[in-house]
Chains A and B, each alone.
Chain A
Amino acid sequence: MTDERDALRREGIGLEPEDLDGQSMERLSEYLDAGRTPPDPAIDNSPGCQIALDALERLRGLTPRLFADDVAAEPAVDEGWMAGLMGLIALDARAGRRIPISSEFGDLGITEGAVRGEIRAAEAAVPGALIGRTRLHGDVTVPGASVRVALDVSAPYGVPIDDTVGRLRAEVWRRLRDHTELTIEGIDITVHDIHLLPSPEEER
């Protein structure tokens, strides 16, 4: 380390306490991590500390570039690995609560997961709309109990949001009426994002 230290000193950079007006690299690292607050005059007025802080900052500035470079250098996702992972995931279906359906054949029901799938499928009737999270508020396990549906939506750019929301609400309503016996009290739609529709030539 002594050779390196001497080499650095010739460059005007010293990282030992005697170069840093008595401050340590631990202290300077933490000072930088804290955003140089609260201001410490002993550091701010020391040329040696300023040189070391500049070097620490150069290092920090390079880090996001290094990581972006590393990410870009990773190979494409291995399809065998991907298939294995998705196979494990599929074992854990999110069925959720059981929603009863009256029937002359006895006790029937559908899962909450299936109802959510039915709600998501409503987006097919509203080009460009994408449904995110869906919630069924209320005790869906009790026949006839009133339920509020909450949807998170990303809406297509260039279409009035009210149109998108209105059409989605009508479609969700229709599907729930046709496929469940839930008493829908209301459908609350939150538009959290607007996205550009892919142009036809970009479509894969």
Chain B
Amino acid sequence: MTREHEPSALADADDRTLAGRAADGDTAAFAIIVRRYTPMMRAYARKILPGGADVDDVVQEAFITAWQKLPSLDDPARVKSWLMRITSRKAVDRIRARRESDDIDAVDPAAPEVATPARVAEARSSLEALRAALAELPEDQRQCWTLREIGGYTYEEIAEQLDLPVSTVRGMLARARKTLIVRMEQWR
């Protein structure tokens, strides 16, 4: 594979330039997108996946899909939010696939490490309080909340993603918010 470009010349290029080049097959431009958005996608996937498992695989799958679908992305300037969408879809698919294989194998899934009493105890700032409270939420509530508040999904989109009735999503979001407020106000 020939490098068309010294990475330094492109490293600070805007998203539209990079995504446009990647759509045309420029792997060096794609590599810069990968470096730019991997931390964001990892942090996002980590909040959706139980216990943050499989983050590496999910983000890799998301980038492979992105590479395949880039030529059909209408507005390459919006590659960042597009990558967020792909990430959450891959994370939710992963959860679903694991749930199904667990059913077949009747194996106990590893207990997600959500409760972090040590962190709760040392929570000082409101930010840490929120982080600790989120970690304590039930998985489904945290997923709903993450898709809504970080992913910017509508209620209907969350329902579709998680294969749940909209009314259930509405209820879970309200419960999640209530719990988070209760926790945070206790630390105020």
Contacts and interface: CB of A to CB of B under 8 A. Distances in A.
A203 interface: yes
Contacts of B114: none
Contact of A55 (B34, B64, B185): B185
Interface residues of B, number: 64
Contact of B25 (A77, A82, A113): A113
B12 A198 contact: yes
Contacts of B97: none
Contacts of B11: 204
A62 B77 CA distance: 27
Interface string A16-30: 000000001110111
A161 interface: no
A85 B177 contact: no
Contacts of B184: 55, 58-59, 62
Contacts of A88: 60, 64
Given A58-B184, A59-B184, A82-B34, A89 B43 contact: no
The A contact surface, by secondary structure, is: helix
Interface residues of A, number: 64
Contacts, number: 167
Interface string A109-139: 0000100110011000000001111100000
A131 B134 CA distance: 43
B177 A29 contact: yes
A81 B61 CA distance: 12
A41 to B, nearest CB: 21
A66 B39 contact: no
A40 interface: no
Contacts of B71: 94
A60 interface: yes
B178 interface: yes
22 contacts: A4-B182, A8-B185, A13-B185, A30-B170, A33-B148, A63-B150, A72-B39, A74-B39, A74-B42, A74-B43, A77-B35, A77-B39, A81-B56, A81-B60, A85-B60, A85-B63, A94-B23, A132-B18, A154-B13, A192-B17, A198-B8, A203-B8
